[in-house]
Amino acid sequence: MLKATKKRFDIKILVANSTVSETFELEKNIVKVHGVLVTSDKDDLLYYRGTQKIEINKEEFFPDNYESKLLMSGINVSPKQRYYDLGGVAPGNGRVQILYKDLDDGRTVFAPYRVSLYLDCEMEDEL
């Protein structure tokens, strides 16, 4: 039986104007990735300063310099609609890569922050 599940992966941005690349692995029983969402513990910094590239199974879904604000949803959006719809992607080897870039913006002062990547997945109950 298939059931919906949400996955969260975190990266830390410790230095201003830095690039952080991380690869995460999904469980083998995940059969589809339906959506993606990014959040942060300091969401103004993510909103104004962040850009990222996201790859799933070595396939690029969001290219380099794609702004994080375009993948964020505020609390005004109903919880079921917060994820950016990818349309049910097969995860293949299950590797999810994020290449996150922090860039100065005149409206913010840098402080170390966390970026969380959420994936809306569908998994098989039993392998």
Partner 1 sequence: MMKEGVIITKISIKQKGERKHFQIKLPMDTKFIIGVEYGGRLIDKPETVVVEPAPDDGGHTPTFFKRNQLIGELKLQSCEEANWFYSADVLANDVNLGLADFSKAGFPVNDFTHGNKRTEEIVKIDAESTIIQGWYLDALGKSVNADIKYEVNVYVWINVEE
Per CB under 8 A, 125 contacts partner 1: no
Q: Residue from 5, 73, 97, 116 that binds partner 1 (CB under 8 A)?
A: 73
- How many residues line the site for partner 1 (CB under 8 A)? 29
Q: Which stretch binds partner 1 (CB under 8 A): 7-15, 58-66, 90-98, 118-126?
A: 58-66
How far is residue 58 from each of residues 21, 54, 63, 92, 110, measured CA to CA in Å?
14, 9, 12, 9, 31
* Contact flags string 76-105 toward partner 1, x per CB under 8 A: xx---xx-x------------------xxx
Q: Residue from 72, 119, 121, 123 that binds partner 1 (CB under 8 A)?
A: 72
Q: Which residue has the tokens 């959420």?
A: 118
Strand partners for 3? 123
Q: H or E segment at 47?
A: helix 43-49
Q: What are phi and psi of 31, to 5 degrees?
A: -105, -20
Per CB under 8 A, 65 contacts partner 1: yes
Cβ–Cβ contacts within 10 Å for residue 73, how many?
Answer: 15
Contacts with partner 1 by CB under 8 A lie at 43-44, 46-49, 62-67, 69-77, 81-82, 84, 103-107
